[in-house]
Structure 1
Amino acid sequence: MSRWLSPSGQWVVLDEPYAHVAKPDVVERRCAWLERNGLHLLRPAWGGLYVPGEAVPHLISVDKELLEEVVTVIESMPKLIPQSMDDWQGSTDDYRLQFVSPARQAAGIKRKPRPGTTHAWSKNAIQYTQRPGFKPNWRPDQAKSLSNHVELGETLQRLNASGIPYATYEKLGVIRSELEDWMYAENSRYSRKPTRDEGDAYYSGNDFAQFETAEDQLAAIERVQFLLMGSYLDCVPLRNMLKRLAAARAVLVADMRARSAIA
């Protein structure tokens, strides 16, 4: 989901779920929710930004005229991707090469290595994905138990369904996605492959009971912290994740205090 602001100050949300949303029961639920909240929805004939051809772009706003205007612009855009490489008019080179400008070549000035093409070392951490042009992704150099991943995933999914502040929801969403990446990267170290339920630890699609009170939500975040610190040795990737978790907790605490003051 991404949020966009019009020069008028009005907003449009671009929601790009996968194709399962085309099922009649899902369409009915989504439309009912939109109607209850006074929102309008249009689905342009467009591939979207997230995964063109796989996701289904939905434009949502309280301003129906703005939606119609945006859809008109989107559907009139030319196709930027050629149908075949025979139509490609640009320059193509090997993916791993690094561009050096003619001026730099003439001056004989060397460039720093392109990101994602060199290896580095960090205490108790390891690079687990590397692509030319991008910073590598790091994770702790240990394999957390699958049972811990399942418990963490269930806790995060319950928090996701619990009406937490939006900023907390977003920060926990990043943690949840990264933990799933760590789980799959750790997979080669397990003595067996994860079962279907274990593999779906962080994104099962199941309905989970909510943490009803803010105190319960706070305790759940603290449980996530406890499991992380008990499963991995101190390292930069873990510290970065704990900082994000602390930021998510801080938003929840501020929301609790604001609600208490109003009450």
Structure 2
Amino acid sequence: MSPTAIHPTSLASLKRHAKSIGRELGIAHHEALDEAARRAGFKDLRDAQEHLAKPAVPFEHSAFLTAYWEERTDLLDESTKIGCGRLTLQLPLRMPLGELVSEVSLENTPYLRGFILEASDHLETRLDCCSEDDAYTALGRAARALLFMAGTGLAGEPSIERELRAPFLSDHCSYWYDPETKEPVTLSEPYSNYISDSDRDSLKWSDLHLAETSWKGIYSPGRAHPLIFSRSEDLIQRLEQQLSAMVESYKWVKPGIDTGSYAAQFYSPGRRASGIERTPRPMPSPLGVVRNGSLPYGSRTGGEASLWRPAEPMPLAFHMQIGPILYALTYSQDEHPAKKLAYEAWSDLSQWVCHEYLPSEDLNIDTISVYEGPLLLHYDDNQQRLSALSKVIELLDSGYRDCSPKREILKTLGRAEALLRKQLS
């Protein structure tokens, strides 16, 4: 008796038929898939995938991805700028961008961590890229990550503890999970695609399964070779089918690219439809320009605002008294309620002193060491810590002229002081 012909209309339908055939003939799932393909009139599974993988759902939606770039010969010297601009990529999708990512999930999603959800349909890099090439690379990887998520249903793994380590060829790894089965998935993209017999043996004792497909990956298609690991054999088989379908789907995806002025912010259709104006990107303030008794310092990268410190320095002798106190309050092994806030003040002051007193032959001390220890002081109880903190506040109050950074650090230490008083009451 000849096998019963079947008429699948999709890969999912073919897979369902394969399960029945596998039970009927008592054969492995991959053999059943080939048999199902032949019964459907195809040469084999690959031939079926090529014909059935054409998108049943059209790419009706678009996601826009923007990266700003500024190239300098010296990254720390803005006067060495040799070019800047904006790139915006339009990526066709079968679903709205909001079904793939949210403002919160971006932090856990590989290749999208440096982006913000600027509008319902628009992702934008938070910071400038260092060159136009870097901007193209960032947008390409982000676009491929979105297509990977859309094609497989995987999401970024939010828990470091759940990350699945690749047993071999571990390079350019990204960590994912399947929301349906809750199984973690690791995508490793090494430059070598050689898998030894001992590597395959390691899969058995590590209780892992490996997906190998013609999909080119996310990190560097054509150079790196994607390997996907999971503990679930069923999930691996599903991913192999989905990724094979994605390869065919890519023929339908034609991203558009728009090059624009660095100063011109991109307005996506979603942003325009909202009727809400864009806020300007945060930018560093000009160096050396005093504003209300304060000077800017910190990052010089577009997309990040400057930090501020008092324009007039505090006497170095005051720093040398404050440093050991805050170091002891911050790095003592004893837990106390003011520890976190003391650290915030310690972190700011350790940077301020280095800007206020630059290295010179006349300076007989390394300013970095003023706040860096060693641990010279110890406080036995909260009463001693409160007294030490009060001394720091007194020195800061008399050491700096009134300005916003001084007020902020005193407010921080005032909160720390209040926590200690509460413990003592």
TM-score, normalised on structure 2? 0.37
Residues in 2 aligned to 1:228 and 1:121: alpha-carbon distance in whole angstroms: 20
On the 8 A contact 2:327/2:372 being kept in 1, the answer is yes
Residues in 1 aligned to 2:379 and 2:334: alpha-carbon distance in whole angstroms: 9
Structure having the higher helix fraction is 1
- Which residue does the alignment assign to 2:266? 100
Counting matched residue pairs gives 185
Q: Deviation string for 1:80-101 (max 9, x for gaps)?
A: 49889x928998989x666413
Residues in 2 aligned to 1:247 and 1:88: alpha-carbon distance in whole angstroms: 52
- Which residue does the alignment assign to 1:60? none
Residues in 1 aligned to 2:391 and 2:279: alpha-carbon distance in whole angstroms: 42
Matched residue SS, 1:87: coil
On the 8 A contact 1:162/1:210 being kept in 2, the answer is no
- Which residue does the alignment assign to 2:328? 158
Match among 331, 346, 356 for residue 186 of structure 1: 356
Structure 2 unmatched ranges of 5 or more: 1-112, 114-158, 175-187, 192-218, 223-254
Q: 1:105 to 1:176 in 2, by over 3 A?
A: same
Show the 5 A alignment for 1:212-223.
Answer: 212-223=380-391
Matched residue SS, 2:309: strand
Matched residue SS, 1:132: coil
- Which residue does the alignment assign to 1:231? 399
- Which residue does the alignment assign to 1:115? 282
Q: 1:148 to 1:116 in 2, by over 3 A?
A: same
Residues in 2 aligned to 1:157 and 1:92: alpha-carbon distance in whole angstroms: 51
Structure having the higher strand fraction is 2
- Which residue does the alignment assign to 1:149? 319
User: Percent identity between the aligned chains?
Assistant: 21
Residues in 2 aligned to 1:110 and 1:146: alpha-carbon distance in whole angstroms: 47
Residues in 1 aligned to 2:350 and 2:298: alpha-carbon distance in whole angstroms: 13
Q: Deviation string for 1:27-60 (max 9, x for gaps)?
A: xxxxxxxxxxxxxxxxxxxxxx9xxxxxxxxxxx
Q: Does 1:87 align with 2:257?
A: no
Show the 5 A alignment for 1:188-203.
Answer: 188=358, 192-193=362-363, 195-196=365-366, 198-203=367-372
Q: Does 1:243 align with 2:423?
A: no
RMSD between aligned residues: 4.2
On the 8 A contact 1:164/1:252 being kept in 2, the answer is no
Matched residue SS, 1:253: helix
Matched residue SS, 1:139: strand
Residues in 1 aligned to 2:190 and 2:314: alpha-carbon distance in whole angstroms: 45
Show the 5 A alignment for 1:34-49.
Answer: none
Show the 5 A alignment for 1:73-84.
Answer: 73-75=163-165, 79-80=173-174
Structure 1 unmatched ranges of 5 or more: 1-48, 50-68, 258-263
On the 8 A contact 1:139/1:182 being kept in 2, the answer is yes
Matched residue SS, 1:200: helix
Structure with more contact order per residue of length (Cα contacts < 8 Å, sep ≥ 6): 1
Residues in 2 aligned to 1:79 and 1:111: alpha-carbon distance in whole angstroms: 35
